[in-house]
Chain A
Amino acid sequence: MSKSNETGASESRWALSPEDLKRLSKEAKAYKGESLWSDAWRRLRRNRTAFLALLFLAAFGGISLIAPFLPIPSPIALSLRDDAAPPQWFWEEPLALPKPPAPGTGMTQSKANLWNDGWRHRTMLTVAAQDEASAEAAKARIEEVAGRSAALEIRDAEDAPEGEAPKLAYVSVPHLRSDAPDVIATETDFRGNATVWRYDAAAVDSSEPDLEEEGSAEENTAEDGPTEDSSVTAEPDWRVVCSLELKDRNGSPFDPDQVTTWSVDQRTRKVELFLTRKDAVEGLGSWIVRFKLKEAFESSAVTLRLNGQLLEGSLPMIDSTPVDAQIVEAQLFKGVEHDDLGRRLKRSFESSPIAGAAFVGARHESGYWPFKGIVGKFDDLLLAARIKVFGLWQTGNWMGTDSQGRDLMSRIVWGSRTSIIVELIASLCSLLIGVLYGAFSGLMGGRIDNFMMRVVDVLYSIPFIFVVIFLITLIGDYRTLLEDKLGLDREKVFYIVIGAIYWLTMARVVRGQVLSLKNTEFIEAARVIGASTSRILLTHIVPNVLSIVIVYLTLTIPAVMLFEAFLSFLGLGIEPPKVSWGLLAVDGTQAINPIKIYWWLVVFPSLAMGTTLLALNVLGDGLRDALDPKLRGKS
């Protein structure tokens, strides 16, 4: 209702009654106008090439955003190849990803069986070795203890005294799929032999006293494959290995098709059965879980689920009495826990030393650590989602691998993340600092404008490449100091520099626009009605320069991308093991040699970069046309 605070006399000046107004304001909703923005959007959509470019960029951005979700190999997971592998067609069996060992078949030592999950972790073991032979011997020992193949890299020790232990052997032991903690590995075999394991940190601590004994048992069983029932006692009790035997009411094996999966949670001591059908419950006679734990599972803690839904009231149907122990088969799974691997190796090196080799330490390297902290929790969520959706399946090397066996496709995808972050920083700086600075400067005019623009000139005159080189060198020397005191690592310096440069031109562009805008009549009109400077700036000037800003942004983004690639190419930008397109370009240039042509290392990164730059330029052009009010209504 219109309740005017004006006097009655002035109210009568208006022709429309409150009822009229009410009705008209309802009707007015049918006459929504089209803003210049929606008009521009409509025209952009009509511009087919620009719209395609927009779609392409959106798809590309989306892919790089959800990179952890995609079933692609880790961009930094090394395989033990010593040469770059050409692309494999996607119907080909992935070479680097052999099938996981079937449960019960145990580990083999061959390279082909190396199951490098990639997107998970590895353990880096450092050994001080006198020569290569001793390093090889140490590697053999490590492989023996870990029960799987390892990769060896020998480097000169940096601070080693003259003549003593000149080499450091780095042996990387990849985690196996089965090592993956917190993950229920789902096996397809449910015919009474399903194996489920979960890592339980609490159980590790409690198992400490058993370790001595377990060490020898490990060595014994490493080559034997799965342990039989008899060896269950030697099995470390924190490694929960259990099997489930289901029987129907008649005592014969339960129809395995009725059960999708089951899980045993050590922490809660609960067993869950996932059934396929509701009536399967009736046929279920008994169950038994064979395990070795300090506490037993409670039968009442067994829950039954159908398609993930809890089946209420079905618990009494289950007879949890352990049946005959003989028919229970426990599958031992021998995993490698990497902290533990370090301990075991230490012990192994102590008990049977290798000449010329001394165990230095073990370091756990997380597969994704370089990317943590940028998106952080979001990445973790995506990773969890990936495991839920794709399980452990991942693509082959569709674009080949680089010389260290890292998957090129995932490197391109992950590298585009770096590009996007750099672009985001540059655009944000341009938008926030550049637009406001330029608009304020232009609007104030006079001395303030003069001063503000001289600041921009001064910043412009700084040769930023040299600043970057200087800062990077500084960081190299005072790395720990800077990182500890200022939290300033190389990457942050790099981003700061990008941010510092890219608002300058924007400020100039915006200022120029504002100078021409501020004498337009609608700005004068706003002054006449008494609008404050900040109001004019934010409600009239900024929205009106935004179209130019957007066009300018789309055209600067390629420049930022190239700047990033250029600095990374020089070794001043992103550091390995992080990926960026600049680093891929480095790989590409190194791959160009007359003996063997690693074409995929050149072609795919340049395709990715080229199409993105092209799309950005096409989009910028289309946006300029779409946002130009003079071209409204024209082709």
Chain B
Amino acid sequence: MLEVTDLHKHFPIGKKGLLGKPAKWLHAVDGVSFSLEKGETLGLVGESGCGKSTTARTMIGLYPPTSGSVKFEGEEISHLSRSERAPFRRRIQMIFQDPYASLDPRQTVASILAEPLKIHRLAKPRERKLRAMQLLDAVGLNPRHIHRFPHEFSGGQRQRIGVARALALEPDLIICDEPVSALDVSIQAQVVNLLEELQERFGLSYLFIAHDLAVVRHICDRVAVMYLGKIVEIATRDELFENPQHPYTKALMSAVPHPDPKIERTRERIVLEGDVPSPLEPPTGCRFHPRCVERHKVEGDRCSTVEPQLGERSACHLSLD
């Protein structure tokens, strides 16, 4: 349904003159390719600054891509103008991370939910409110609260409103940009369950962006792990969690604390050295090599000179060999 090929997004950094080129380019997304089937949930996991949100925003057209293509049902959508994009907007929607920032504080829930319908002229003015109530009901909120304002809801309820807004246009694909990471644990579970329920009911596909592997494991069918603007590993959920290939994936999984003291205190843990390098000057060769604990397993200096390409599953010289 969705196919992303070699997507690049570079941001100019620093001052540029009238005609001069910017001093530096931030390679936020640097050659990302993946595809998404109908009804599937693809997880996009990575640490902050790895480019997962930029990928999503570029795909949906919030940023123009530097290069690469985004195809939706075979049609190229990445270079469309705003008006040309309209039919695709209806079919690809987005849920945002921060439930406190993603709803206009001055609008009632009714107008927030009716706005997409208004823009796409999907319903008559009278029906918009009724549709908004349907949506509220669908996301498990009291439809009577349609005239309330976002600040009168709790964080979890606001996130539900955000989900309802994405649903308003009855899309096929919803890009979820860390939809639960700003929520409390007990609420997080509610929203995850809601997303799963809606997927079944409306036949949705999700691109689920998260930094929390445990959440991804619960909701996703396939998982792509990103590091510094590149996908380092992509696999079905079971394969990935049972047998992670890329050293980064292993480290990432090992770093997730487990809510059980018996396991947490006995398990062996891979603690990575150092920080994520700046995407302004990504390391040569394999981008992960300065922090990699398995680097010594690769002969010579291939890790620091040759950039491993994403094969069937993982972008690591070890697994490629």
Contact = CB atoms under 8 A, between A and B. Distances in A.
B137 A15 contact: yes
Contact of A543 (B60, B85, B106): B106
Interface in B145-191: 145-149, 151-152, 162, 165, 168-170
A526 B115 contact: yes
Contact of B89 (A16, A530, A539): A530
Contacts of B107: 539, 543
B16 to A, nearest CB: 11
Interface stretch (B67-75, B122-130, B237-245, B251-259): B122-130
A36 B115 contact: no
Nearest to B169: A529
B134 interface: yes
Name which of A31, A32, A525 has the most chain B CB atoms within 10 A of its CB: A525
Given A521-B102, A544-B105, A629-B105, A528 B129 contact: no
* Residues of B contacting A: mostly: helix
A544 B82 contact: no
Interface stretch (A1-9, A184-192, A310-318): A1-9
B66 interface: no
Contacts of B102: 520-522, 524-525
B263 interface: no
A413 B123 CA distance: 54
A34 B162 contact: no
B62 A528 contact: yes
Given A528-B93, A529-B115, A530-B116, A21 B149 contact: no
Name which of B129, B138, B151, B168 has the most chain A CB atoms within 10 A of its CB: B151
A527 B144 contact: no
A171 B266 CA distance: 109
A10 B142 CA distance: 21
B214 interface: no
A13 to B, nearest CB: 6
A324 to B, nearest CB: 80
Contact of A525 (B94, B122, B148, B152): B94
A608 interface: no
Nearest to B111: A539
A540 B111 CA distance: 11
Nearest to A520: B101
B144 A13 contact: no
A528 B151 CA distance: 22
Contact of A16 (B85, B133, B145, B201): B133
A54 B161 CA distance: 37
Contacts of B34: none
B314 interface: no
Nearest to A26: B144
A18 B133 CA distance: 11
A35 interface: yes
A35 B89 CA distance: 29
Interface residues of A, number: 44
A607 interface: no
Interface residues of B, number: 55
Contacts of A35: 106, 108, 149
Name which of A5, A15, A522 has the most chain B CB atoms within 10 A of its CB: A522
A486 to B, nearest CB: 39
Contact of A2 (B89, B101, B127, B138): B127
A29 B108 CA distance: 13
A30 interface: yes
Interface string A451-471: 000000000000000000000
Nearest to B92: A528
Contacts of B129: 25
B103 interface: yes
B149 A522 contact: no
Contacts of B93: 528-529
A28 B168 CA distance: 19
B167 to A, nearest CB: 10
A528 B149 contact: no
Contacts of B98: 521
Contacts of A28: 133, 143-147
A364 interface: no
Interface in B22-71: 57, 60-62
A634 to B, nearest CB: 14
A373 interface: no
A603 to B, nearest CB: 45
Given A4-B127, A525-B94, A25 B151 contact: no
A531 B123 CA distance: 16
B13 interface: no
A27 B149 CA distance: 17
Nearest to A529: B116
A333 B59 CA distance: 91
A532 interface: yes
Interface in A271-313: none
B298 interface: no
A15 B138 contact: yes
B144 A31 contact: yes
Nearest to B152: A33
A632 interface: yes
A522 B101 contact: yes
A14 interface: yes
Contacts of A14: 134, 137-138
B124 to A, nearest CB: 8
B138 A535 contact: no
A24 interface: yes
B302 interface: no
A543 B105 CA distance: 9
Contacts of A632: 151
A14 B130 CA distance: 11
A25 B130 contact: yes
Contact of A34 (B94, B119, B133, B149): B149
Contacts of A27: 144
Given A521-B98, A522-B104, A524-B57, A31 B89 contact: no
Contacts of A522: 101-105
B130 A21 contact: yes
B271 interface: no
Contacts of B96: 521, 524-525
A543 B106 CA distance: 7
Contact of B165 (A18, A525, A535, A539): A525
Contacts of B90: 530
A531 B115 contact: yes
Nearest to A5: B123
Nearest to B87: A530
Interface string A531-571: 11001000110011000000000000000000000000000
Interface of A: 2-6, 10, 13-16, 18, 21, 24-25, 27-37, 520-522, 524-532, 535, 539-540, 543-544, 629, 632
29 contacts: A3-B124, A4-B127, A13-B202, A14-B134, A16-B133, A24-B143, A25-B130, A25-B133, A28-B133, A28-B144, A29-B147, A31-B144, A31-B148, A33-B148, A34-B149, A34-B152, A35-B106, A522-B105, A525-B102, A525-B162, A526-B115, A528-B61, A528-B94, A529-B115, A529-B119, A529-B169, A532-B82, A532-B119, A539-B107
Given A32-B147, A529-B165, 7 more contacts: A16-B133, A522-B102, A522-B105, A525-B103, A530-B90, A543-B107, A629-B105
Nearest 4 interchain pairs by C-beta: A33-B148, A521-B102, A529-B116, A521-B96
